[in-house]
Amino acid sequence: MARIGLNPARGKMTSYSPAKVTVAVLTYIPHLEGYFQNRFSVLQLSLASIVANTVKPYDLLVFDNGSTSQVVDYLLDMHANGTIRYLFLSKENIGKIGAYNLLFNAAPGEYVAYADDDVFYYPGWLEAHMKIIETFPNVGMVSGSPVRDASDRASNSVKKLIDNSDSSLKFSYERRIPDDWESDWAISVGRDPEKHMEATRDFQDLILERNGVEAFGSASHFQFLSPKEVMLDAMPDLWSGRLMGQMNEQDQAVDNLGFLRLSTVGRYCRHLGNTIGPDMLQEAQELGLDVGIGHRNIRSKKHWLLTIPGGGRILRRVYDFLFKILHNIE
């Protein structure tokens, strides 16, 4: 056995200590075609908004779930220049809940601000999230993007809080979330905004107030701030192998543990979807963010194939079939 000298790190101490909050982003852009043709620019805008609009000390952690080399190279550059402190690269897509398990176990912070890679962050977002966690008891999740139809699930802990409330808690039901926020949300997830508004026409928003701080009585799982230990306790024990899904079950697990799921009453985060719309483009530019890289405009007029009765349904089936072939999905 041979050895040359001693490890120079022996006996040394690092000056680094983890920030209280780990901002964690899960990325998945397997190629830059079809559904994903604008997703690279969406990712770039999302990360740029974190860097520009996060004031409190934080560590940025990115878990890439098998993206194309162009995206991985971009993330490696951000890691090399220090913007991303922790970068995890998976050779293949291990599924969202699988990535959750690795990500939340790896995050060094007491709190984890998680989001998918298509979320825009407005100034003051982290402070607004932390204020709710510091004001209300047993908070498990706080979202910065209120969504009206998220209030009809995993809400038993909120109901128990109301039933056992003291004079420090006030609550009311009213139509507080602006319709244009709901319309933006519907468009970003591929829903018809008019049908979405009609489906939620009779919904009322639950508003909680404590010590002058307001919160909606629901949360969204695409973006939230959570105490790390809460999410670890809520994780499923089995590795399912599913690429998507299990998010509603995760919400329910947090609720079953007795933790509240709340949202800020202001929109501090916004779901972008798979492209940057004209209004979001203008907002980002007004905030001084560069969103020109890789952005392509979306047609405002339907392709003629979509004007054929049943054409959209047939094309979607063909797209799904080809997508499974290209990505070896059974």
Q: What is the pLDDT of residues 88-108, one digit of tens each?
A: 999 999 888 889 889 999 999
The per-residue pLDDT for 243 is 56
The per-residue pLDDT for 259 is 95
C-alpha–C-alpha distance, residues 84 and 88, integer Å: 10
Q: Do 170 and 310 fall into the same domain?
A: no
Q: Do 141 and 242 fall into the same domain?
A: yes
Range of the domain at 320: 303-330
305: its two tokens = 């194939």
Specify if 5 maps to a domain.
no
126 exposure class (CB count in 10 Å sphere: 0-12, 13-18, 19+): buried
In a 3-state reduction of DSSP, which class is residue 68?
coil
Write the Ramachandran bin of 177: left for phi over 0, alpha for psi from -120 to 50, otherwise beta.
beta
What is the DSSP secondary-structure string of 104-145?
A: HHH--SSEEEEEETTEEE-TTHHHHHHHHHHHSSSEEEEESS
Number of CB atoms found within 10 A of residue 9's CB: 8
The answer, yes or no, to whether residue 51 has pLDDT greater than 60, is yes
Q: Do 237 and 316 fall into the same domain?
A: no
Specify if 107 maps to a domain.
yes
**Chain mean pLDDT for the chain:** 85
The per-residue pLDDT for 191 is 85
Closest CA to 60 of 40, 95, 88, 41: 88
The per-residue pLDDT for 150 is 67
Q: How many distinct structural domains can be found in the chain?
A: 2
Specify if 197 maps to a domain.
yes
The per-residue pLDDT for 323 is 62
Q: Do 162 and 68 fall into the same domain?
A: yes
Q: Do 132 and 207 fall into the same domain?
A: yes
Least confident of 202-206, 245-249, 282-286: 245-249
Specify if 14 maps to a domain.
no
Q: Do 281 and 314 fall into the same domain?
A: no
If pLDDT is split at 50, 70 and 90, which confidence band does 52 have? Answer: very high
Least confident of 141-145, 152-156, 209-213: 152-156
Q: Do 215 and 314 fall into the same domain?
A: no
C-alpha–C-alpha distance, residues 289 and 312, integer Å: 35
The per-residue pLDDT for 306 is 65
Q: Do 257 and 323 fall into the same domain?
A: no
- Residue 162 or residue 140, greater confidence: 140
C-alpha–C-alpha distance, residues 216 and 266, integer Å: 10
